[in-house]
Amino acid sequence: MPDIVTQFYLQQLPEAELKNNTLQAPCPFCTQKENDKKGQMVVFLNQESFFHGYFRCLNSCISGGFPLHFARLLGISLTQAPGYDPDRDYFGREVDYPVKNINHELLGFTDKLTDELYDSFQTGGVTPEVLKEMRIGYNGRYLVFPYVLADGNCYAARCVHPEKPEDFFWYGDERFSAEQYRLFNTQEIERCENGTLFLVEGEQNLLPLKQMGLPGIAVPSAADLNHIEPLRLTWIRTIFLWVNHNPESEAMAKAFATKVGYKVRIVRWPENASRNTSLFQIATETKSLFQKTVFTMIREARAFSPFPTPAGEYHTFNERLIRESSESYDNLASGFTKFDQALGGIHGINIIGGTPKAGKSAFFIQIASEMALRKLPVIYYDFENGRQKIYLRTLCRLSRLAIDQIKGNALTPKERQRLLQAQQTLQKALHWLRVVNDRKLTPEIMRRHIDFLRHETNSDYTVVVIDSLHKLPFKDISQQRSGIDGWLRQMEAIRDEMAVSFLVISELERGQDGQFSRQPQLGSFKGSGDIGYSADNAMVLLPQWDPFDDSPPKDRINDLWLVASREQSPGKVGSYRLDYPYWGFTEM
């Protein structure tokens, strides 16, 4: 069964023949003009085409358009035309047009077109018939492009030097040369209601498209796109935006597409196109191949979409899948066997909570430095200990020397040799481990840090350690909870967009008695209800020792519990003995 648009044209053109989604019939408008030779009307009815329902007379007796324009020309009730909406408001109909216009003067300008000018247009395939249809003229020195308005009259025209486009001026009523009226062939907007329209930069660039029978309007320059009121194009379904090939015009095109919406499809130039290439220029260069070139570029035009293209989306998915099957992805591990088995490695956002002095910082410093030693880039955002303490504790662990030994001068030759080797190891690791104490940190700065280190280390992945979540900078201490939740949202975005793994330290909530719960649970975390939603893995580090007990520090053991996870089973991860006095832990 034919679609409603096809039905409409078959009813109005009883002599029509439908073949290969194209309707051909004697033009009903040519027959209304006694002196015109009867032409053929063509209607394009491919439902998958942007030009479904577009009609044009091959004799160019009238301007083509879509069903509502056809109904208006034929003088039938618009209620019979598909897409009619009686409640539509049309922009610009409230304009109070003056009595005086320059229509008569345009006739004099069109008569002054010289053979030389006709030949120059002909190089781009533009015939005198199209120039006549568009009412292009010449005043003896400048080409005259009439800006005919919705009422069918011209009140202002743009006069452009044929050889120097930058040399131009406006002629006529200066009120109608104002920015809001700078749309050439503006009547085409109503003709293309519910259909497709081209919007190009430069009046001359519109002419080759009109020669092909395509509907379009033009702005004098890409900068004028900024002054088009989007309401003017409300009832256009698709806009092909075609500007000249230069960064300035393309930036204006993107800004316009953002403002108007996703009906805009920006036609993109081939990579090998030279700077400032224009439509008229490729019409001149390609000659008979121009039509094929145009339709190829139209097919490749993409909507200014909020979504990635399906091809790009699949490519990104597949590329990431390959990376996640790589050795570098598997290397994203803490070095603690049970920890990595329980979590599947260091991936996503991993939040660990614990009581004060439980060893959370030492635990993550050890993981961060071990990953850096395996040449994995790590950024450690520290708001607790200071850069010097982190390096000193790492040196202590690497050298198996206590801090007072490192600072003292009583080392044996073997101990001095261990210290020297540890210092060299730490120095090499600092290419991969960057400690940041910036208390004015923002998500934008964090992204720049990640970009730099990833580029510097030529790595696909980066690990970010945050010590701690509750000391991240935010504007007002009274807004701590919303500030923390905002940071968690940013971490989610950075994780997904930049393939970053997070290790985040959080404080725990005290009970009403001022004590910390000995039962590991998701509700133990302090100050944010969003941890349960944002964390890929949430853990609690619970000391199994009494802080007031005088037992040797080397006997202190912490249990690590996984209390919530997107992909892993919660439960006890493992037990970790303090490696005293070397600021580390040993997995039991």
Instruction: Indicate whether 168 and 244 sit together in one domain.
Output: yes
Domain residues for the domain of 125 are: 105-303
Residue 311 belongs to some domain of the structure: no
Domain holding 555: CATH number?
3.40.50.300
Q: DSSP string covering 103-115, please?
A: HHHHHHHHHT--H
What angle, 0 to 180 degrees and rounded to 10, lies between the N-to-C axes of helices 480-498 and 443-457? 30
pLDDT value for 223? 96
Residue 88 belongs to some domain of the structure: no
Number of domains within the chain: 3
pLDDT band, residue 482 (cuts 50/70/90): confident
Instruction: Indicate whether 286 and 397 sit together in one domain.
Output: no
Q: How far is the C-alpha of 128 from the C-alpha of 136, rounded, in Å?
A: 10
Sign of CA dihedral 541, 542, 548, 549: negative
Instruction: Indicate whether 138 and 50 sit together in one domain.
Output: no
Q: How far is the C-alpha of 24 from the C-alpha of 253, rounded, in Å?
A: 36
Residue 257 belongs to some domain of the structure: yes
Residue 312 belongs to some domain of the structure: no
pLDDT tens digits along 422-453: 999 999 999 999 999 998 999 999 999 999 99
E strand or H helix at 148, and its extent?
strand 143-148
pLDDT tens digits along 314-341: 988 888 888 888 888 888 999 999 999 9
Instruction: Indicate whether 74 and 146 sit together in one domain.
Output: no
What would the mean pLDDT of 396-418 be, rounded to a whole number?
93
Domain stop point among 268, 303, 338 = 303
Domain holding 293: CATH number?
3.40.1360.10
Q: What is the DSSP code (8-state) at residue 582?
A: T
Instruction: Indicate whether 521 and 426 sit together in one domain.
Output: yes
Residue 98 belongs to some domain of the structure: no
Q: How far is the C-alpha of 201 from the C-alpha of 249, rounded, in Å?
A: 8
Instruction: Indicate whether 273 and 360 sit together in one domain.
Output: no
| Locus of tokens 């910036």 | 438
Instruction: Indicate whether 47 and 176 sit together in one domain.
Output: no
Instruction: Indicate whether 166 and 127 sit together in one domain.
Output: yes
pLDDT band, residue 81 (cuts 50/70/90): very high
Instruction: Indicate whether 145 and 233 sit together in one domain.
Output: yes
What percentage of the chain exceeds 90 in pLDDT?
75
pLDDT band, residue 278 (cuts 50/70/90): very high
pLDDT value for 555? 83
User: For the whole prediction, is pTM greater than 0.75?
Assistant: no
pLDDT value for 190? 95
Instruction: Indicate whether 249 and 205 sit together in one domain.
Output: yes
Instruction: Indicate whether 206 and 109 sit together in one domain.
Output: yes
Residue 276 belongs to some domain of the structure: yes
Instruction: Indicate whether 367 and 505 sit together in one domain.
Output: yes
| Inter-residue contact 267 to 261 (CB < 8 Å) | no
pLDDT band, residue 11 (cuts 50/70/90): very high
Domain stop point among 80, 95, 116 = 80
What would the mean pLDDT of 10-34 be, rounded to a whole number?
88
Residue 75 belongs to some domain of the structure: yes
What percentage of the chain exceeds 70 in pLDDT?
95
pLDDT value for 261? 86
pLDDT tens digits along 531-560: 878 899 999 999 888 766 777 888 889 999
Q: DSSP string covering 372-416, please?
A: HHTT--EEEEESSS-HHHHHHHHHHHHHT--HHHHHSS---HHHH
pLDDT value for 57? 94
Q: How far is the C-alpha of 287 from the C-alpha of 268, rounded, in Å?
A: 20
pLDDT value for 346? 95
pLDDT tens digits along 225-270: 999 999 999 999 999 999 999 999 999 999 999 899 889 999 999 9
Burial class (CB in 10 A: 0-12, 13-18, 19+), 465: buried
Residue 294 belongs to some domain of the structure: yes
Q: DSSP string covering 177-216, please?
A: GSGGG--BTTTHHHHTTTSEEEEEESHHHHHHHHHTT--E
Report strand pairing: 264-266 vs 17-19. Answer: unpaired
Domain holding 67: CATH number?
3.90.580.10
Write the Ramachandran bin of 85: left for phi over 0, alpha for psi from -120 to 50, otherwise beta. beta
